[in-house]
Amino acid sequence: MGQIRLANYRLAVMTVLAAGLMAAAAAQNKETNMDWNELTPEEERVIAHKGTERAFSGEYWNLKDDGTYVCRRCDAPLFRSDAKFDSGTGWPSFDDEIDGSVKRVTDADGRRTEIVCANCEGHLGHVFEGEGFTPKSTRHCVNSISMKFVPEKKQEAVQQTQRAIFAGGCFWGVEHFFAAETGVVSTTVGYTGGHKENPTYKEVCYTDTGHAEAIEVVFDPSKTSYERLARLFFETHDPTQMNRQGPDIGPQYRSAVFYIDDEQKAVAEKLIAELKAKGFKVATKIEKAGRFWDAEEYHQDYYAKTGHEPYCHVKVERF
């Protein structure tokens, strides 16, 4: 009996220690991953849990455009289009990777060689050698869902632009002002800040998605600055209203700055402090940017399409 109790005690101790180690690892992993892109359940299945998409089902298996394929989870460049070839297998195939971008790991079965992103270790697929498809006789067999494609014509623009995300009531009105601002390359209205994946306008309005109507602004930092855009944001909606803008009422109409990096966060904090010093009771929240979900097409450039003017957004000098 004494030996049984001792064995049970040891088992209990080992269980507690294992749980502690798992919790510590999870906490460390969460801290490490805080800047990675959010994934859908299907992307998570493949990238984080080493799944495989069906052959001929991915969006890139037959893509022939010039550009660069980057990691969907961390945006690290992986493959160039000139290394891509048609293997007839139904998955994107490359006979070379960008130097240092891919790590090889022996599969658990000891036979195949897995390839993962060298930056975030997200699962990409497998690599095979000696098949003779190309002179390099190497085939990186990659899941489309593990990657994003950046067309060549957009690469230079992507490198030279920055993003900003703001929420200030009805996104039609917010976009109206940003679209006309010097230095703004593009605007997209959508939803962010909540928990519902791929939300619809109806869900954001009538269910508890946690999302706010927001705008993603792509801008050229050589022609404008994040601070200038943030000032425009605070002057084209009422930052003192809580969960509303004019006649639009609800948490989806809240005022929020979704910062991309610490520099943007510092700018937002500085401007809010300036407004408070002027006597404004600022209700604007500062939140770390998460995944931005594009709104339905009929919401994009709404006022430009209809020729109407914003009904609850006006520009008021506050600085």
Could you list the active site residues? 141, 170
Cα distances (Å, whole numbers) of residue 283 to 160, 213, 245, 273: 33, 16, 12, 12
The DSSP result for 217-262, as a single string, is: EEE-TTT--HHHHHHHHHHSS-TT-SSEETTEESGGG-EEEEESSH
Residues in the chain: 319
What is the CB neighbour count within 10 angstroms for residue 308? 11
Amino acid at 88: G
The count of other CB atoms within 10 Å of the CB of residue 123 is: 22
Q: Is 146 exposed, middle or buried (0-12, 13-18, 19+ CB in 10 A)?
A: buried
Per 3-state DSSP, the chain is made up of helix, strand and coil in percentages (nearest 5) of: 35, 25, 40
For residue 102, give the 3-state DSSP assignment: strand
How many CB atoms within 10 Å of residue 153?
A: 10
C-alpha dist (Å) from residue 303 to 23, 171, 187, 190: 50, 10, 13, 15
Instruction: Classify each residue of 76-114 as buried b or exposed e, where b means 16 or more C-beta atoms within 10 Å of its C-beta.
Output: bbbbbbebbeebeebbbbbbebbeebbeeeeeeeeeeeb
